Each structure stands twice: as C-alpha cells, then as structure tokens.
C-alpha cells in the first residue's frame, strides 16, 4: 500500500511535528552546503501555507562528548532556514523543558518553530557521559517529543534506516503520521527501483570496498539485468578473476574469495572494467590508461579508463531504470574524475531519453552535485546508508513508521 503524504493530512490549526534532515556540513559554525535545508522547504511550506503550525527538528553530527555540544549547535541552520523560507523561525535552544513547551503551545497558524539538535539527547551533560537517548529510541523521549504536537511528518530519509526517538519514537505516540515530500520522492524512486523497476534495469556500483556493499550486490543480482562495477572495489573483483592489480587498493583475501563467489553467482550479470587510469603514486598528476591485463606491480588504478566508459555506454543503451551508487574513481582529484563525469554524462543522456535515473546518496551524490549534474538526472537520494539499505530491499524503520493511506 502507498504511504500517507503530508498533503493527505488536515494540518489547519494543528501543531505539525516535522522531522527533517538538516545534518549539513559546517565549518567554524558556517554552513558550507545548504542543499538539505532547501530540500525540506516544500514540506514546511505546505504545512504553514495550509494553516499548520510547524515544529521543525533535526540531528546535526554526532554528540558523544561535551565538546560535540558546542560544535554541533544547530542554531545557524535555523537561521539559514529563516533566510530561505523568508519567514521568521523561532529557535529554542533546548530539546525539552518549559521554554520549548511554551513556544510550541504559543505557535500561531503559519508560524515556524525549530528546536535544538536532537542528538544533544545522546549526551548527559551533568553526568558527562554518552547516553544515546535519541539514537537508541528512548521510549520516554519519543513520547515527550510527540506530546509537543498533534501530527507527525517524517521527511528525513537520511536517518530512515535507524529507529530513533525522533522518528519511530514519535510515530508510536501520535494518532496520525505522514511522509514529507522529500521522503515521498525516495519511496517513489528507490522504492520503485526495488519493488517494480521498469526494465532493462541496470545498476552501477563504485566506491572503495566490496565489503561495504555485499548485501546490495546480492540483492541487485536478483533484481537488476546488469551490474556495472567501478571504483576501487573493481580491483577486488579483478583480483578474483586472476588479474594482477599492481599496487591498487584491494581488499584482503576473504573478500577476494567473496567477489569470486559473487561473480560465479552473477552468471554474467556483473560487468567489470577493461581498463583503468593508473599512476605510481596517490597524487593529482596525470595518469595513463592501461588495460587491466597489462598492470605492472607499481601501477595504482585511480579511475576507470576510456574503454570501460565505452563498454558501460553499450551496457546502458536502452536502459529504462538505472541506479548508481559510488564514484568510479578518486573524483576529488581532477585527473581521476573523468570516469565519474563520464557516468554522469551517460545518466544525463538516458534521462533525456525517458529513463528513470537514480543516484543513491553518499559520494556519488556529492560528485553529481559538485560536477553540476543534479538537475540532469531523475533523482539524487539524500541518504547514504539509508539508500544502500533500501536498495537491499530492507524495511527502513523511518518509512515503516509512516501510516498507510
């Protein structure tokens, strides 16, 4: 069944608890990328434009020490929300207590309240120790936050793979829950790719480790028509095939053996690179393209090569659903970004041809954003770990807790 979304709720006159993902990168108290704040605007705007009273909250970083309290103050994010939404945002520098309760009760229709970092509840300042009340879904905390509002909207996909007090805990204590528009998009695109993909369905996997993506690879072998492999994880597979991978990053023997088993199970579905851009040092200096059967012992593969891009283009031809997770090389270095840029180009072309193209969070999402491809694909996920677990077909607590229509 389909999940309720925010527009299915009657929000007029109600205090609407909105769990957003404002876990933005910050440097010295300054936001360096406000993409996640912008992504939450449609849900918040729907609530306030329809007479709701928005109570917005999020985690920011991890709070394990007293130093983390000061470092992860979410006040600058509330300020940025105010600037973007062009309406006052009342900020309460607390996660519980009379000031927060009074502010929630005094909210008028169309107003916005934001309170302090939910992860502050993971550290007991008085006892000077980590307690993880938010992260471990403390029942009392979930019930307390639920008491601040009337209905609950979850719009934080980035934490949907974890049961926390600020998602599952609140949902268990309110009468009505719904997904925000951002969470709805994740359900539509990634959930659609898992449950009912339009075929041909091709997955592209990159990143550094096979061990990080065992579950995803196994799930995709059952679902996808092809799985294209790039990034440093390609060398674990290539070593499993008997190639000399030189000094390239490669996992220990147990994962080489695992890769060998996956290749056997894949029955030709896994497509490996045929060349790579190599260097003899991990530096941003020009490398050379080498076929994978021509590596010398000093060669370190840092990106997929041009022949591999051509191969991937051929394998992607006519695809109707494409999911990509993990960069093709060390994209942070301009000399080793061409494989990742090339895949971005292929996805942009397929999107124009009507394919559903999904970039599954993490480094591949960051690469697409940085390289200017965000508007050229169907969907860029806002969750790293959540995207991977969703692609595995796992039930995510932050989605499961939302009411069905």
User: Rounded mean pLDDT of 316-343?
Assistant: 96
pLDDT, averaged across the chain: 95
Q: What is the pLDDT of residues 111-132, one digit of tens each?
A: 999 999 999 999 999 999 999 9
Q: Which CATH architecture has domain 6-179?
A: 3-Layer(aba) Sandwich (3.40)
CATH topology of 6-179 equal to that of 186-391? yes
> Cα dihedral sign for 66, 71, 76, 80?
negative
53 forms beta bridges with 15
Task: Give residue 208's pLDDT.
Answer: 87
Question: Angle formed by the axes of helices 214-223 and 253-266, to 10°?
Answer: 10
- What percent of the chain has a predicted confidence (pLDDT) above 70? 100
Predicted confidence band at 402 (pLDDT cuts at 50, 70, 90)? very high
Q: How far apart are CA 255 and CA 329, in angstroms?
A: 20
Fold observed for domain 186-391: Rossmann fold (3.40.50)
**Tokens 């600058």, residue located:** 76
Q: Output the CA torsion sign for 361, 197, 391, 350.
A: negative
CB atoms within 10 A of CB 372: 10
| pLDDT value at 163 more than 90 | yes
* 323 close to 203: Cβ distance less than 8 angstroms: yes
At 214 the three-state DSSP class reads helix
| DSSP-assigned letters across all residues of 318-374 | T-SEEEEES-SS-TTSGGG-HHHHHHHHHHHHHHHTT-EEEE-SHHHHHHHHHTT-G
Percent of the chain with pLDDT over 90: 89
Those residues whose C-beta lies under 8 Å from the C-beta of residue 206, and which sit 6 or more positions away, are 229, 230, 231, 233, 324, 325, 326, 327, 328, 329, 340, 364
Domain boundaries, the chain: 6-179, 186-391
3-state DSSP helix/strand/coil percent for the chain, to nearest 5? 40, 20, 40
Instruction: Tell me the C-alpha distance between 88 and 79, whole Å.
Output: 9
Residue 121 DSSP one-character state = G
- By the 10 Å C-beta count (0-12 exposed, 13-18 middle, 19+ buried), 285 is classed as exposed
Q: Which helix (H) or strand (E) covers residue 399, if one does?
A: helix 397-400
Residue 1 has pLDDT above 80, yes or no: no
Residue 274 in tokens: 């045929």
Average pLDDT for 334-359 = 96
For 345, other C-beta atoms within 10 Å of its C-beta total 15
Q: Encode pLDDT of 29-88 as tens digits.
A: 899 989 899 999 999 999 999 999 999 999 999 999 999 999 999 999 999 999 999 999
Tokens encoding 15: 């205090």
Task: Answer for the pair 221, 227: CB distance below 8 angstroms, yes or no.
Answer: yes
Quote the CA–CA distance of 265 and 240 in Å, as a whole number. Answer: 13
- The Cα 57–Cα 403 span in angstroms is 20
Cα separation, 387 vs 368, whole angstroms: 16
- 95 vs 374, higher pLDDT: 95
Q: What positions carry a catalytic annotation?
A: 36, 209, 362, 385
- The first and second tokens of residue 164, run together, are 């926390």
Q: Could you give the C-alpha distances from 152 to 39, 54, 108, 167, in angstroms and in order?
A: 18, 10, 17, 9
Q: How far is residue 104 from each of residues 7, 275, 355, measured CA to CA in Å? A: 22, 59, 44
N residues, the chain: 405
Checking if the pLDDT of 403 tops 70, the result is yes
């Amino acid at each position: 069944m389909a999940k309720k979304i925010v527009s299915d709720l009657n929000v007029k006159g109600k205090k609407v608890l909105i769990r957003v993902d404002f876990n933005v990168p910050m440097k010295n108290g300054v936001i360096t990328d406000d993409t996640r704040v912008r992504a939450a605007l449609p849900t918040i705007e729907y609530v306030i434009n329809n007479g709701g009273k928005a109570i917005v909250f999020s985690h920011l970083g991890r709070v394990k020490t007293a130093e983390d309290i000061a470092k992860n103050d979410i006040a600058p994010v509330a300020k940025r929300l105010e600037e973007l939404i062009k309406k006052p945002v009342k900020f309460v520098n607390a996660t519980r207590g009379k000031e927060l309760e009074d502010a929630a009760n005094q909210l008028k229709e169309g107003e916005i309240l934001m309170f302090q970092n939910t992860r502050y509840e993971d550290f007991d300042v008085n006892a000077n120790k980590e307690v993880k009340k938010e992260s471990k879904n403390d029942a009392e905390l979930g019930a307390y936050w639920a008491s601040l509002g009337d209905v609950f909207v979850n719009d934080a996909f980035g934490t949907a793979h974890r049961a926390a007090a600020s998602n599952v805990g609140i949902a268990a204590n309110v009468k009505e829950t719904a997904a925000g528009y951002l969470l709805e998009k994740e359900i539509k695109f990634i959930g659609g790719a898992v449950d009912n993909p339009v075929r041909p369905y091709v997955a592209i996997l990159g990143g550094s480790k096979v061990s990080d993506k065992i579950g995803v690879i196994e799930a995709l072998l059952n679902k996808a028509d092809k799985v294209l492999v790039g990034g440093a994880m390609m060398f674990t597979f290539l070593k499993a095939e008997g190639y000399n991978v030189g000094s390239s990053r490669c996992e220990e023997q147990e994962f080489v053996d695992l890769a060998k088993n996956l290749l056997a199970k894949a029955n030709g579905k896994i497509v490996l690179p045929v060349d790579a851009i190599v260097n003899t040092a991990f530096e941003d200096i020009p490398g050379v393209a080498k076929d994978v059967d021509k590596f010398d012992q000093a060669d370190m593969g840092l990106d997929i090569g041009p022949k591999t891009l051509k191969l991937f283009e051929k394998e992607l031809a006519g695809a109707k659903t494409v999911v990509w997770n993990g960069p093709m090389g060390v994209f942070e270095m301009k000399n080793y970004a061409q494989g990742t840029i090339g895949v971005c180009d292929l996805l942009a072309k397929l999107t124009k041809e009507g394919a559903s193209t999904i970039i599954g969070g993490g480094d591949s999402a960051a690469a697409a954003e940085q390289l200017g491809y965000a508007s050229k694909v169907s969907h860029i996920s806002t969750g790293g770990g959540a995207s991977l677990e969703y692609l595995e077909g796992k039930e995510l607590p932050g989605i499961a807790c939302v009411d069905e229509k």
